[in-house]
Amino acid sequence: MDISKEELDKIVQKAQDAFLISKKFSIQKRVSFMRAVADEIEALGPELIQTAQQESNLPEARLTGEKGRTIFQWRSYADAVERGDSLDASIDTANAERTPPKPDLRKTSVPLGPVVVFGASNFPFAFSTAGGDTASAIGAGCPVIVKAHEGHPVTSGIMADAISRAAEKSGMPEGTFAHVYSSTYETGQQLVSHPLVKAVGFTGSYLGGKALVDLANQREEPIPVYAEMGSVNPLFLLPGKLSSVPQELAKQYAGSLTLGVGQFCTNPGLVVGIAGEELNQFIEALKEEIVKIAPGVMLNKKIATGYAESREKVIGQSGVEVLAVSETEAKEGQGVPTVATVAGVELLANPALLHEVFGPFALIVQCKDASEMLAVTEKLEGQLTVSLFATNEDVASQEEIVSLLQTKCGRILFNNYPTGVEVSKSMHHGGPFPSASNSAFTSVGADSIKRFVRPLSFQNWPDEFLPEELQNANPLNIWRTVNNEKTKEAIS
């Protein structure tokens, strides 16, 4: 069902009206709303999981876990809002004796305004209608308009209804949350271009995210688009580690590569090692694992077709050799596990080999030596993750590679696989462009709330008219920086 421009205008105007009302609310009211959303989602019966299974082809166990993750996101973000984490409240009290006199300055973070969120295909709960972008924008105090993902419209509707019920029960104004269905790009473009919209959250492809970024920058008032756009998430195998457990690494890697039919934005699709007997042992063991893994049904026909096309494009490049393919023939809509290899020198001459293949596909880059591995590292674009498999001695001996890898990603793992994104304050899910549109922010963890706020300083204001977090008595009992010291104490 598509929607007219006039209907969109009304939805955005209601969001703006809600913003002007709710910005006066106490933070505790916002917290109560977020916890009510978590309760509503938790109370959803088997219909939610069954519907999501039908629409996304994801298994029951995966969806059950993702539902729990989504509930946890709402509750943990609510806790962070209650603690004042995203407010970053600071106070520098006046000093009339100084020359010139020092004013009373107090700074907090305030919501931007209406936010548009685009639902993601691969996580129908945790990164879609009721996902992290929506939860963090609500946590910031922003009304949210979600454009439902066409891959799971009924699932999205169930989640949208849960949020709407929570909003009504919590006494939030009409327009605090809206859910839009549309199969056209024009609807998304109109939402991003609307002058009352102040920010955008997006999880998806590079082409989709970059188009939204460009559109937002062309507005009369440019707005931030926080786009998480995926990456190849390279995995580096250093010689010391590789020589000790090549078969074990291959088995673990095969599991990470094919988890969820490779449909994670952190899927490790590129392996970089130094050619030799140790890497050959890894490759032979990996080949044995891959042929045994059956193709899996992908999220939808469009994604399956995209995987097949991207896979064939890489396989067809000069110097690329297919090493192993699942021995089970893929049916329509399935993604076939595949491993290919290429020499480091060929990859350095062909940037197309560094593009993401969204699915269970791996390209193993065989470098002739550490110098060529460094050159491959330099060639990498920004990534969400980089995984380093190494001994301590490897790290010490390849300091230049290790240091350079840290400039290429938002999360660097040591002897660990990236297909698992913990929801916590210390998680950074983002990275240098083109993995994300702004490397300074995360889309996972309570710090994601900071995307949708801006600083506001109050100078010499009467205490009674200040936001609660800046008042002398500290009625919210939050941590504040007062005259350069962290404290919960009131100001006397």
Which value, in Å, is the radius of gyration of the alpha carbons in the chain? Answer: 25
Do residues 259 and 289 lie in contact, with contact meaning Cβ atoms separated by under 8 Å? no
d(CA 197, CA 236): 42
Three-state SS string across 74-129, please? HHHHHHHHHHCCCCCCEEECCECCCCCCECCEEEEEEECCCEEEECCCCCCCCCCC
Helical packing angle, 132-140 and 27-43, nearest 10°: 160
Quick check: bond before 114 cis, omega within 30?
A: no
Query: What SS3 string covers 350-383?
Result: CHHHHCCCCCCEEEEEEECCHHHHHHHHHHCCCE
Identify whether the C-beta of residue 251 lies closer than 8 Å to the C-beta of residue 370. no
Give the integer Cα–Cα distance in Å for 352 and 12. 40
Measure the CA–CA gap between 265 and 357, rounded to whole angstroms. 10
Residue 435, SS3? Answer: coil
CB 140 within 8 A of CB 86: yes
Q: Which helix (H) or strand (E) holds 483?
A: none
367 is an active site residue: no
Residue whose structure tokens are 């009373």: 104
Q: Is 38 helix (H, G, I), strand (E, B) or coil?
A: helix
Which residues make Cβ contacts (< 8 Å) with residue 347, sequence separation at least 6?
353, 354, 365, 376, 379
List of E strands, 267-337:
270-274, 296-297, 321-325, 334-335
Strand partners, 116: 145, 200
Catalytic residue among 40, 82, 228, 469: 228
Question: What tokens does 148 get?
Answer: 């439902």
265, 289, 372, 409: the active-site residue:
265
- Cα–Cα nearest to 118, from 272, 229, 276, 259: 229
Active site residue 228: yes
Calpha distance 118→187 (Å, rounded): 11
Report, as residue numbers or ranges, the catalytic residues. 228, 265
